[in-house]
Structures are given as C-alpha cells and as structure tokens.
Amino acid sequence: MPADLDPLLFGEIDPPQRLLMGPGPINAHPRVLRAMSADLLGQFDPEMTGFMNQVMALYRPIFGTQNRWTMLIDGTARAAIEAALVSLAAPGETVLVVNFGRFGLLLTEILGRVGAKVETVEAPWGEVVPMDAIAAAIERVKPKVVATIHGDTSTTMAQPLEGFGALCREAGALSYVDATATLSGMEIAADRWGVDIVTGGLQKCLGGPSGSAPITISDRAAEHIARRRHVEEGIRRDDIADGQGPRIGSNYFDLAMIMDYWSEKRLNHHTEATSMLYAARECARIALGEGLEARFDRHARAGRAMTAGLRAMGLTVFGDDAHRMTNVTGVYIPDGVDGEAVRTMMREQFEIEIGTAFGPLAGKIWRLGAMGYNAMKHKVLLTLGALEVCLRMEGHPVPLGDAVPAAMEAWGD
Amino acid sequence: MPADLDPLLFGEIDPPQRLLMGPGPINAHPRVLRAMSADLLGQFDPEMTGFMNQVMALYRPIFGTQNRWTMLIDGTARAAIEAALVSLAAPGETVLVVNFGRFGLLLTEILGRVGAKVETVEAPWGEVVPMDAIAAAIERVKPKVVATIHGDTSTTMAQPLEGFGALCREAGALSYVDATATLSGMEIAADRWGVDIVTGGLQKCLGGPSGSAPITISDRAAEHIARRRHVEEGIRRDDIADGQGPRIGSNYFDLAMIMDYWSEKRLNHHTEATSMLYAARECARIALGEGLEARFDRHARAGRAMTAGLRAMGLTVFGDDAHRMTNVTGVYIPDGVDGEAVRTMMREQFEIEIGTAFGPLAGKIWRLGAMGYNAMKHKVLLTLGALEVCLRMEGHPVPLGDAVPAAMEAWGD
C-alpha cells in the first residue's frame, strides 16, 4: 500500500476552497454546512418528527404545491427519480418519456429496469420537445405514465411544462417531472402544471450537498401508490392495510411505505438521514427567506450575465436561446483549444471548476453554472475573467477585458 | 395552516441535546458533525476522488478485508442491503435467508421484490441459527445466494459467522452479511469469514449520522456483478463493456455502475453525497485511531455493564446470553409497568432515549443501546440511574442504588 493510502496517515478533512461553477454540485451555503453540525435525534423523537413536519411545510412552496405528501428521499437526486418511477409504473405498463438529453435517457434506463414498456418523444440535444409533439405521442402510445426532465443540465435546456399535467390527466396518465437542476432556481409549479410527482436535489440551485432529495406527490398519485402498498412482514400493523395492486419492485424506494413513515402513522422504514434532513431544512429556509421570486430573478441575472460575458469573448453559446436554463450555460470550446487543458488551468490557477459535457457534446462544449450560493455577480465575473486568461494562455486569441463589463451590464445593477 | 407550520417562522436548527441510548441512531461523535461542515468539491475533482480513495482504504480494516471494492452507498443502511441483494440475485434465482429477527424478514422482503425465490432457515426471536442448520438448508435448497444479518437489533442477537462464507462457497453460493448494527462495535471479518458482500451504516457503532452506508465486495462477487453490467445510454463509453447476464433491476443500486464510478474509470453515476462521505471518512478515522480491538473491548464492557446494571435492578434480560450483541441489550418490561410511560419519562425528565421493540416483542421489551460515541461508562451509568428512578415513579419497586455499582464493576476499571 502506498504511504499516502495508509489510513492512519489521513489527516483531518481539509478540502481546498474551490469555486464550483459547473453544472453542479456547487458550493453549499455556509448556513447549510453549519446546520449539519447539529446534534442527532432518535428517529421517532417528537422533536425529530417535528422537524420532518417542518420540512414538509418548507418544501411545499418550493415545489409550488399544496400537496400533503411533500418530503425527502434519503439518497441523491437520482434516488428520488427511481423512487417516483418504480412507485408510479408497474412492469408491463407503457410509459412515455420526453427525451431531450442525458437525463431523459436516464429516465428510459430506470424505467427499463422497472420493466415498463418505454416509448419516447424526442428532441435533438439543445432543443426542447414541443407540447403538441408530446400531445401527439400521448395520443399514439396511450401511456399510463408520462415522465420528463424539467431542466436537463446535459443540454442546458429547460422543457416548458405549462399545460403538461392537464394533457396527461386528460389522457388518464400520471405525470412525473424531474426538477433536480432547477428547483428553487427557476419556477416549479407542480400544482399549476398539474403534475403528479416532482423530485429535486439539494446540490444545484438549493445550495446544499448531494444526498437528500425532495419529492412532492399529488393526492391522486398517492392513492395510486397506496393501491400498491405492501408493508414488510417485520413491521406489519393492523392500522395499515396492504393494497391490491402489484407490489412495488423496490423496498427502499417504496413510496407507499415512505409516505406511511412521514405520516402520523410513523411506520418504521429506513432511519431518516438526520444531518441531511437538517441540511434540506436549512436550504429551504434560506430559499424562502430570500423569496422565491427574488431567487429566480437572481438566477436569471446570473445566466444572462454569464451568457453575455461568453459572447463578448467571441465564444458561441450552445443551444436554443428561448429555452435555456437560467442557471447553467453551455458554450462551444473554440476550435484548436484543448477543453480539458483549460478546465485544468481554471482549477489549478484560479481554483474555479467549470463543467465538461456528456455524450454527443463531450469535448465540444463546456458547461458553466451559476446556481444557488454561486449565482452571484462577483462569482460570475471572476469566472469570466479567469476564463479569458486561460483561453489566451491556451493560445486562443480572445479580447481581454470585454467579458466582465458585458456581464455587469447584463446583470443589470 | 397552523402558525407553527408557517415556514417563515421556523427558526435555526436547534435540537435538544438528547442522549440516544436506544438501538440506533445514536449521537454522532462531535468530530463527525464538524467534518460535515467542510466545503464541497466537484465530483470528479482530483481532491474529491482522492477522498473517495481514502474512504476505500479506511473501510478495508473496518470490514476486516483486503477487498478492492470497499466503498459507500449513498443512502441509509437499508440502501446498501438492497444494492447488495439486487446486484447479487437475479429474478427466479433461489436465495437462502438466515432469519432470526425483523431484519432477516427485511432481507426476505427485499429479495421478494427482486423476484428471487426466497427460502429461509429460521430461529425464534432471541436465538441464533446453528451453523449446521444453515449447512443443512444450503444442502436442501441449493441457493445461488445466502444472506444473513450479523447483529439483529430487533432481537439483540449476533449470528456467529465463523465458517459461514466457506460453507456457501463450497456449495457454489455467493454470501451476503448485513453488519449495520455491529460494524466497528464487534469484529467483522469479511475475509476470514469468506463472505462476498458485507454492508453497514454509520448510525450505530460508527458514531455518525444515518445516510451513508459502507459496503465491501469480494473480487468473486465483483466479477459476478460485472457480468450483469449495463451502462446507461447517456454515458456509455468504449472502455466499459456491458455484460451478458441479466440486467440489474435497479439503476441507483447497480453495483456494477457504482464500482465503475469508484474506480479509476470514474463513470458518471450519481453525484456522490460529499458531506456524508466526509462524515463516513471521519467515522473511520476515529475508529482506526482508537484501534479496532480497543473499540470492540469498549463496546463489550458497555454491554456487560448495561446487562449487569439491569440485572441488579431485578429486571430480566432478553435472549440468549451466549449470542448477545455487545452494543444493544433487550430487557423485559416488568409486569404492570407501562413501557411507553417509562420511555417518555426518561426522555422528558432526563433527556435520555431508550428503545421500544418490534413485532412479537413490541410492548414486551425495551432495547438499551450503548454504541459508538455512547458506549461510554458514564453514559451507561447515567442511563441506569435514570431508569431506576423512572421505574419507581411508575410504581415498580426496584431497589434504588444497586444498578450503578453493579455496572461499574462489570465495566472493569
């Protein structure tokens, strides 16, 4: 074993202070980091269940909903996606996926493992799917569930969702939206959209660490899922009856049991991840304290400033302007520039991280995020100034000094 | 909405300082709580992947293994159980579960959802399953996988596992052990036991918060799982080939992709829960810094002291003395005593939590834990002293003052 992997030689945790301006994770708000230092509680301690109830109340406005079932899944954002899909869709059922990027592909992947019959309606990476194409696909495949990503960071596009839920309901389908990358950064209107389940994560616009995933579930979806309830033999109770529908294919992601855990029944399921719950609670307190409208505006300004700065450098921004996410911007790597060399220089010389890309965009674009605690004017300006320098040092002749004033102007005050 | 659920009125996180002497979760070590305050990093930042490699090195001795694949699952202990079982067992395959409590039932439950054909070999709650009964069951059902709990907190029993892995290997079966409740509190000897996968959690003897679950995987099991590898379409790469075996039924719990994420391939999967990784790293540093033998001895003393104190009060300890877990002790609630009233008084008057019970033991026993940061003499003594008082106030005539000296003597110095 090399000496640096001798466990007794590992020192106190001491990460460098990097500015994370990629597509997430981003730096957590210091209040969130401090909240995780609070002492733990037993999982059925009245103080603990009180905090759980507070979290439910805190996330309702963030999801734009009155849904009773608004809570946390104990895992990363991907865990909540799987919990939603495995609980909504049964094996053999047809599910329509609105696919316009890597995370749309993730939905198809998870649903394939669930055993659903997966159909897709697609757009090229960098575009979104028109609502009439979704309507036509619903008409064609007659799905039981329709699933989509809101903001797909792989392409930086945000799918418009006004009317989406109504379209699904009219066709008798349940609907699912992944809002991991946009929750508290762009408006999420679960109730107005009429969507049945929306999930998120803390590590993007909410400014927390990955590891806890907010979810909201409509009463309609909750009833559907309750019909699939199957309580573990070791903890069965007279007051919780099993449903008649097909058992959900995962125990950990069984939303029926998770709802019973978060209800006044307090059915024992997992042991709630207490420190992450404290983090999620603080993320939401910060977001609501700022005000959601102000927060959306801050993200919009950051996105406008980043885009304006990149364009002032002479770079080409990726994708459709009309549907760009406010909190992450794709930009083409100029011809002849080694994208990874620039990213390394950004990190090593400036302690700033910018993002690479996936699939058809790998090696073609960088992704620059400005979200949550990092959607701030000075962080956008510092990033743009550093990128100019790195591009020139990598031999690409950008004009020095144009990006920052353009970004300041686009920010607006 | 009642005023106390107006989110804007929720204050800074400020839980009461409860002493958690139940079956877990327990109070985290303050160093672990502080470690979570460290700044976040990008998931492929070299500093972050360096911390991931350190975590792999730190957990090998804790699991008693040289296994390369020793890492974390991003979820509670139950998440790692499901990851192990869904990745080991394919639908239709026979799995033998060694079942002696609520968590054995959980294994059957998860495996049922995986679609495995579940067989069991059982012991009554309060006993363990003799190794020859396991051998006979393996001979009878010819399983592909044999799964057991090490310490089942529902019954406070620890299943002996010397020779368990060899028995499984001779029969051509893979083996799984859940060590959530014992990891770093009692010896876990993955390699000597010859077990293929062992999983744990932080919230018991490791003295951390729930939400990250250590796992170790033998090379044999890793090869088996790699044959089931199926990389998501959005992130496929030429250097990672899919296997020919049946696709694993979960994306989030697909150990093939999770191993590729923790390998130098750094395949993108979930976004590692960074703060929880910092917590897991600190838990392990503390455990190895203390020394595992010293730590096992501390838990054994705490268990002996608790048991001696309870017996000195005239109470009857639950279950088989020969196989009792060192870190959690069951004790019968005396006739005529309202068990929940005592627990409430313990919490409200002394800020001490003791545990209730499940299934056939619900209302019959309390479970008193002394684990991790709480496996300390003074915490055992404080708990016993408070319990004496609460029993008397609930009308049960225990001798006052006998428990503490008996516990001190049993502690041994």
pLDDT in tens, B324-354: 999 999 999 999 999 999 999 999 999 999 9
Instruction: State whether A172 and A59 are in the same domain.
Output: yes
Cβ contact (<8 Å) for A358 and B235?
yes
Q: Give the minimum alpha-carbon distance from A104 to chain B in angstroms, rounded to a whole number.
A: 9
Confirm whether B109 is domain-assigned: yes
Residue A89 near residue A116 (C-beta atoms within 8 A): yes
Q: Is A247 on the interface with B (CB under 8 A)?
A: yes
Verify that B132 and B50 share a domain, yes or no: yes
Given a contact cutoff of 8 angstroms between Cβ atoms, the answer to whether A251 and B114 are in contact is no
| pLDDT over 70 percentage in chain A | 99
How many CB atoms are closer than 10 A to CB A20?
A: 28
Q: Do residue A45 and residue B272 have CB atoms under 8 angstroms apart?
A: no
pLDDT value for A4: 57
Nearest to A213 by CA among A225, A226, A224, A199: A199
Tell me, what CATH number does A108's domain have?
A: 3.40.640.10
> What does the alpha-carbon distance between residue B326 and residue A388 come to, in Å, rounded to a whole number?
61
pTM of the full predicted structure? 0.97
Please check whether residues A56 and A134 belong to one and the same domain.
yes
B163 within domain boundaries? yes
User: A243, A269, A287 — which closes off a domain?
Assistant: A287
Residue A21 domain-assigned? no
Q: Please report whether residue B69 resides in a domain.
A: yes
List the single residue in B with minimal CA-CA distance to A201.
Answer: B271
- A67/A191 Cα distance (integer angstroms): 8
Contact A91, A114 (CB under 8 A): yes
Nearest chain A residue to B201, by CA: A271
Are B186 and B326 in contact by the 8 Å Cβ rule? The answer is yes
Please check whether residue A354 lies inside any domain of the structure.
Answer: yes
Q: How far is CA B103 from CA B78, B84, B100, in A?
A: 10, 15, 8
DSSP B257-293: HHHHHHSTT----S---HHHHHHHHHHHHHHHHH-HH
Q: Does residue A108 fall inside a structural domain? A: yes
Q: Which residues, at least 6 apart from B55, have a Cβ–Cβ distance to it below 8 Å?
A: B71, B72, B277, B280, B281, B284
* Residue of A29, A76, A272 to mutate for B, most B C-beta atoms under 10 A: A76
The C-alpha atoms of residue B203 and residue A172 are separated, in whole angstroms, by: 43
CB B85 within 8 A of CB A86: no
Number of domains in chain B: 2
Across the interface, whether the CB atoms of B281 and A76 are under 8 A apart is answered no
- The answer to whether residue A87 neighbours chain B at the CB level (below 8 Å) is no
Please check the confidence at residue A32 and state whether its pLDDT lies above 90: yes
Enter the tokens of residue B385: 């002293």
Q: Between A8, A203, A232, which is nearest B105 by CB?
A: A232
Tokens of B86: 């869904």
The residues that bridge with A147 in the sheet, in sequence order, are A97, A176
Tokens of A264: 């006044």
Task: For residue A201, list chain B residues with Cβ-Cβ distance below 8 A.
Answer: 271
- What tens digit of pLDDT does each residue of A124-133 get? 999 999 999 9
Question: Within the 181-210 window of chain A, which residues sit less than 8 Å (CB to CB) from chain B?
Answer: 201, 203, 209-210
* A161 domain-assigned: yes
- B94: contact with A, CB 8 A cutoff: no
Tally DSSP H helices, then E strands, for chain A.
14, 13
Task: For residues A248 and A117, state if they share a domain.
Answer: yes
Domain boundary residue, one of A255, A287, A319: A287
Q: What's the rounded Cα separation, in Å, for the pair B207 and B222?
A: 29
Residue B56, domain member (yes or no):
yes
Task: Say if residue B268 is in the same domain as residue B361.
Answer: no
Do both A71 and A173 map to the same domain? yes
pLDDT range class, residue B9, cuts 50, 70, 90: confident
Task: Give the chain B residue whose CA is nearest to the CA of A238.
Answer: B359
Average pLDDT score over residue span B369-387: 98
Question: Domain containing A45: what range?
Answer: 36-287
Angle of the A77-88 helix axis to the A219-226 helix axis, nearest 10: 70
| Same domain membership, residue A244 and residue A367 | no
Q: Point out the residue among A76, A101, A233 whose CB comes nearest to the CB of B105.
A: A233
Residues B319 and B194 in one domain: no
Q: Let me know whether A217 and A131 are in one domain.
A: yes
| pLDDT over 60 at B4, yes or no | no
Instruction: Point out which residues pair with A99 in neighbouring strands.
Output: A122
Contact at CB, A6 and B35, closer than 8 angstroms: no
Residues A342 and A384 in one domain: yes
Calculate the average pLDDT of chain B: 96
Mean pLDDT of chain A: 96
Q: Compute the distance between CA of residue A399 and CA of residue A404 in angstroms, rounded to an integer.
A: 11
For residue B397, whether the previous peptide bond is cis, meaning omega lies within 30 degrees of 0, is no
pLDDT at A3 over 60: no
Rounded Cα gap, residues A350 and A368, in angstroms: 15
Mean pLDDT value of segment A255-278: 96
DSSP lists the bridge partners of residue B148 as B98, B177
My answer on whether A268 and A310 are in the same domain is: no
Q: Chain B: give the shortest CA distance to residue A53, in Å.
A: 8
Q: Give the residue from A239, A266, A287 where a domain finishes.
A: A287
B337: domain CATH number?
3.90.1150.10
Q: Is B390 on the interface with A (CB under 8 A)?
A: no
Phi/psi for B319 (5° steps) reads 85, 175
Query: In A, which residues are within 8 Å of B57 by CB distance?
Result: 1, 5-7, 10
Counting one residue from A and one from B, how many pairs have CB atoms under 8 Å apart? 311
Residues B312 and B282 in one domain: no
